[in-house]
Amino acid sequence: MTMKTFLKIAILILVSILLVSSGYALLFIGTTNQTNDNKEQTKEPIDTLSPIITSITGDATAASGSMITISTTFTDDVGVTSAKLYYKPTGALAWSSKSILSGTAGISLPSDSNESWYYYVTVDDAAGNGPVGDPSTDGSLYYIITVINNASNTPDDNDSNGGAGNSTQNYSRFVFVELGTKIVCSECPKISVIMNDLYKSGNYPFYYVSLPLDNPKALERLTEYNILGYPTVYIDGGYKVLVGSKVQKSDFEKNITSAATRTTPKIFVNTTAHWNNQTNLITVNIVATNQETSAYSGRLRVYITEIISTKWQGGTPQHFSFLDFLMNQDIQMPGIGDISFTKTMNASGLDPEDLMIFTVIFNAQKHTGYSQPPDKNPFEAQYVDAVSATQVIQGGNLPPEVGIQNPLVKYFHRFGKPVRKTMTGKTVLLGRTTVVASPHDDSKIVKVEFYVNTKLMATVTQEPYEWSWHTFTMGKRTITVKAYDDTGKATVASIAVTAFML
């Protein structure tokens, strides 16, 4: 084969390869274009508009013990994928919620109270152009359900906060819980957290107060219960008693449900409060109603509490911390009748926005209860028949809450790490220790100060809120953290330690 012939064959092969490659390229491009065309034809419309709530029930009136239905309609350019109804009684801080995507949802009103309820609705679409709310998206504005007592009440169905709102419990009344606790207590924080989480969930109809041993007024109440150890929880005046840190969330759920569904006399109580910022006086109005035909005897206790404790707080935040009784007396009510009281209190030294008042009626009948079940530390239990609560200033600005995450109370620490509980119950630090604060606020934390005794050691203005303590120290000291919010309100948490730092 000549060189000339070889070149011709090589050129022919090269041209053939180029032609075949071009064909595949054209085929691939054509297929791709066709696929893209198909995609363009099946592409879903872009959702760019926010949903709109076109109608809602608004303010309403209903009888206690009944189910009120909230109706709403809404539209969106593509479709609403989430719609929620938020609701709560006047005296509660936390909102419960359920789905109202179908356009209607019910709120079960307890039979033992004519306390008003609040609600609002939010909707959103898949693209997240919301949420849109009526009359607000965060509960700052709400509709009011005015509740009227109904003598023929039957136990109500209280829908729990369970996503689609399908979980139902037969609750007939609100429960009142008293938590015996103290400032220096390694086991109390767990129970405090469970109580507050359950309360905030809105799943169970109860109110609670914290009774810190360190408050002499709270100690008087705990002495009546013949309390043995901390923490101890008294449900409905001793109807149920739970003791120790091994109590689980499910134990609270079971026992609160048991108390909420028990049969009680048809006794109701309503509480309102008004603060006069000129005189600094708080006026509290209480109306107790007996819907039984026979006379009623009981004990009326009105608890003044701080929603976030600023006075009796150690290393762990306390909620609804008891300050004092506004009233604590026996009462008599005629059959099918009511009694009323008006009391005033001076708010000097208190933050009215941080106050919650609980009015509780205990039955005069006495039962034998035990602060160390099943048969130790007996006390005379008077079960609760009615409870109501009111925040002195609805929607007020709360002070920050703050706790100390490290060091841990009653633990021995080596170079900042908790090793084990101490035999003496003291908190001991050996070597450099990072003090960790855990502040939270309903608006914004602007700074946290760290003190040893009264000396300011550090100021931290952003997370993490912590300070490394490594200066030479020998002996007893008090660690204090002080958190400030953006309105200037402040809360402190303190723990006593024995420190050895070289």
State how far the Cα of 82 lies from the Cα of 139, in Å rounded to an integer. Answer: 17
pLDDT of residue 158: 33
Query: pLDDT per residue over 374-427, tens digit each?
Result: 999 999 999 999 999 989 998 788 999 999 999 999 999 999 999 999 999 899
- Assign 365 to helix, strand or coil: coil
Low-confidence winner among 84-88, 168-172, 315-319, 439-443 (lowest mean pLDDT): 168-172
CB atoms within 10 A of CB 406: 17
pLDDT beyond 50 at 164: no
Mean pLDDT of 231-247: 95
Residue labelled with tokens 């180029």 = 18
Q: Model confidence at 236, in pLDDT bands (50, 70, 90)?
A: very high
- 52-169 and 175-391: identical CATH topology: yes
What mean pLDDT, rounded, does the chain reach?
86
Q: What would the two tokens of residue 79 be?
A: 């479709």
Q: How far apart are CA 131 and CA 133, in angstroms?
A: 6
Query: Over 50: is that where the pLDDT of 161 sits?
Result: no
> In the prediction, which pLDDT does 162 show?
33
Q: Output the pLDDT for position 258.
A: 94
Count Cβ atoms below 10 Å from residue 297 Cβ, excluding itself.
Answer: 11
CATH of domain 175-391: 2.60.40.10
Mean pLDDT of 190-206: 89
Q: What is the pLDDT of residues 55-74, one digit of tens each?
A: 898 888 888 778 888 989 99
Residue 28 has pLDDT above 50, yes or no: no
CB 195 within 8 A of CB 178: no
DSSP lists the bridge partners of residue 348 as none
Query: At the fourth CATH level, which superfamily is domain 401-501?
Result: Immunoglobulins (2.60.40.10)
Assign 476 a pLDDT band (cuts: 50, 70, 90).
very high
At 253-296, the pLDDT tens digits run: 999 999 998 999 999 898 989 999 999 999 999 999 999 999 99
| 498 three-state secondary structure | strand
In this prediction, residue 6 carries a pLDDT of 55
Residue 241 — φ and ψ, nearest 5°?
A: -130, 130
Domain boundaries, the chain: 52-169, 175-391, 401-501
Query: In the CATH scheme, what is the homologous superfamily, with its name and number, of domain 52-169?
Result: Immunoglobulins (2.60.40.10)
Q: How far is CA 366 from CA 237, 324, 375, in A?
A: 10, 24, 16
Nearest residue to 493 via CA among 410, 403, 400: 403
**β-strand 143-148 against 60-63: which pairing, if any?**
parallel
